Amino acid sequence: MSDARTPAQIEADIISRREQLAVVLDEIGVRVHPKTIMGDAKAKAAEAVDRTAGRAFVAVNRTVSDVKAQFVSEDGTPRLERVIPAALLAVGVVGLLAVSKRRKN
């Protein structure tokens, strides 16, 4: 068995390979184009920011929920045994700051 091909078959094969090569070169050209590279970099940066912002939101939301749970019971009523001391502490700190400011003047 010989693998003899006709000149027409060889020419058709060459044309087909040229077309495939042209497609591959076009794809490479698009991938290395500066606009494509910048677009990819922007997309990666935006994704990183979104991921970081999402993590921060979850962390802040969890912290707020934890603090709220300290001052509000599960049924939504305030826990006076914790609210009153915290309020008194806040009033005391504000009072000390006011007295300190008056002494400086």
**For the residues of 63-101, what is the DSSP string, one character each?**
HHHHHHHHHB-TTS-B-HHHHHHHHHHHHHHHHHHHHHH
- Non-local (6+) Cβ contacts of 79 within 8 A are 70, 71, 72, 73
The model scores a pTM over 0.75: no
For the stretch 78-87, pLDDT in tens is 989 989 999 9
For the stretch 17-49, pLDDT in tens is 999 999 999 999 999 999 999 999 999 999 999
Task: With cut-offs at 50, 70 and 90, classify the pLDDT of residue 103.
Answer: confident
Mean pLDDT of 1-21: 90
- In whole angstroms, give the CA distance from residue 71 to residue 86: 9
Task: With cut-offs at 50, 70 and 90, classify the pLDDT of residue 74.
Answer: confident
Q: How many Å from the N-terminal Cα to the C-terminal Cα in the chain? A: 109
User: Does residue 1 carry a pLDDT above 60?
Assistant: no
Task: With cut-offs at 50, 70 and 90, classify the pLDDT of residue 13.
Answer: very high
- In whole angstroms, give the CA distance from residue 51 to residue 85: 38
* C-alpha torsion angle, residues 70, 71, 74, 80 (rounded to 10): 130
